Amino acid sequence: MSKVLMKGNEAVGAAAIKAGCKYFFGYPITPQSELPEYMSKALPEAGGVFLQAESEVAAINMVYGAAGAGARVMTGSSSPGISLKQEGITYCAGAELPCVIVNMMRGGPGLGSIQPGQADYFQSTRGGGNGDYRTLVYAPASIQETVDYVMLAFDKADQYRNPVLILADGMIGQMMEAVEFKEAKKIDLPKKDWASTGTKGKRSRNIINSLYLEAEDLEAHNVRLEKKYKTIEENEVLYEAFGLEDAEVVCVAYGTTSRIVKTAIKQAEAKGIKVGMIRPITLWPFPYEAFKNINLNAKGMLAVEMSSGQLTDDVKIGIEGRLPVYFNGRTGGMIPTPESIVADIEKIAGGTK
């Protein structure tokens, strides 16, 4: 199929519809508003339903109801809106409802800015709402990847009966790139025979619920969820890695930031420094396994991110104290520059950082 030039947010919508998403409940927020705008036109044309909810809280609860009724359903927002959606996300995780949630991150905390950010990393990878739960998190670095992972997200949500997050930043939402909508690989998905669709007098009642008043029952539920999360950890880790075996410095970055790091690595290599890289594509499960391949004679790790050092924590967990971990980050919508990254790489390689 030929490539088309699309804005990130619109590409998300087009990919979702291609993946069979029939329902979108949303609320406007910059820099993701083109997504509900796109869906309001494209979904009815595709025989689906777009509804602008009165709030993000309502939107995610509409998603809960629709997912519980067995539909392929999505919502999208940006940071402050995702904070409001966290209530619904933990309920969806607790009731094991498959749905896809897109976060085009902006700067925070609070109202923050409308510029791109990556400071919702903890919120997305550590649960974010109350209780012991996890959501699969895809962090695409291009609009092509965004399209690919949005489509994959619907299948993974259904496969595991779990919410799946697409964690991109405002840059991805706003920029335009050429994309191709490839036919997705068909995978065998479980029947949604648990959905509440009316018994039609043919089966016993289906109940969608996350309440377990007996401590033993809730623990058993949590143990079962934990097992599911382990399966996801074993099977769904995605990352890109290169140059780890003989690197002097290893950079870790995801999303838009990873593209800046790649530019910086080229510049550092022109100066004769060997730089490796790990780019997590799934932020949860995190690709800790990639850290096993790192040359332990390297001088150190450099985490680069648009936050005050949230990814850095996972880098430290991954390297388990075997190498020093340094941080290069900007916040508030400021973007790390290749020059600052090269300067850090040089200092680490030269043992002066």
Partner 1 sequence: MTIVYEKSKGLTDIPFHYCPGCTHGVIHKLVAEVLVELGVLDDAIGVAPVGCSVLAYNYFNCDMQEASHGRAPAVATGIKRVLPDNVVFSYQGDGDLASIGTAEIVHAAHRGEKITTIFVNNAIYGMTGGQMAPTTLVGQKATTAPFGRDEAHCGKPIKISEMLATIDGAKFVERVAVNTPANIRKAKKAIKRAFECQIQGKGFAIVEVLSTCPTNWGLTPVKALDWLQDNMIPYYPLQNFRNFEEVK
Residue closer to partner 1 by CB (options 197, 295) is: 197
Tokens standing for residue 142 = 């291009």
**Please, what is the minimum distance in Å from the beta carbon of residue 281 to partner 1?**
30
Which residues, in sequence order, are bridge partners of residue 99? 163
For the four alpha carbons of 55, 58, 62 and 63, in that order, the dihedral sign comes to positive
**Please, what is the minimum distance in Å from the beta carbon of residue 34 to partner 1?**
22
The phi, psi pair for 293, rounded to 5°, reads -90, 5
Contacts 24+ apart (CB under 8 A), 213-217: none
Residue type, 337: T
- Give residues in contact with partner 1 (CB under 8 A): 22-23, 25, 49, 51, 53-55, 57-59, 61-71, 73, 87-88, 91, 95, 196-201, 205-211
Residue closer to partner 1 by CB (options 130, 293) is: 130
Cα dihedral: 107, 317, 229, 56 (round 10) = -10
**Please, what is the minimum distance in Å from the beta carbon of residue 262 to partner 1?**
41
**What is the spatial distance between Cα 353 and Cα 344, in angstroms, rounded to a whole number?**
7
**Please, what is the minimum distance in Å from the beta carbon of residue 277 to partner 1?**
41
Q: Helix (H, G, I), strand (E, B), or coil: what is residue 7?
A: strand
Residue closer to partner 1 by CB (options 206, 295) is: 206
Residue closer to partner 1 by CB (options 23, 239) is: 23
Residue closer to partner 1 by CB (options 54, 216) is: 54
Residue closer to partner 1 by CB (options 70, 324) is: 70
Residue closer to partner 1 by CB (options 55, 231) is: 55
Residue closer to partner 1 by CB (options 53, 334) is: 53
**Please, what is the minimum distance in Å from the beta carbon of residue 29 to partner 1?**
17
Report the first-to-last Cα separation within the chain, whole angstroms. Answer: 49
Rounded to the nearest 10 degrees, the angle between the axes of helix 8-18 and helix 34-45 is: 30
The widest CA-to-CA distance across the chain, in whole angstroms, is 74
**Please, what is the minimum distance in Å from the beta carbon of residue 305 to partner 1?**
32
Half-sphere exposure at residue 113, Cβ-oriented, CA atoms within 13 angstroms: 14
> Are the C-beta atoms of 164 and 63 separated by less than 8 Å?
no
- Which H/E stretch holds residue 250? strand 249-252
**Please, what is the minimum distance in Å from the beta carbon of residue 157 to partner 1?**
15
CA–CA distance from 139 to each of 25, 34, 165, 338 (Å)?
Answer: 22, 19, 9, 21
User: Interior CA angle at 326 toward 340 and 290, to 5°?
Assistant: 110
**Please, what is the minimum distance in Å from the beta carbon of residue 224 to partner 1?**
18
Residue closer to partner 1 by CB (options 34, 56) is: 56
**Please, what is the minimum distance in Å from the beta carbon of residue 55 to partner 1?**
6
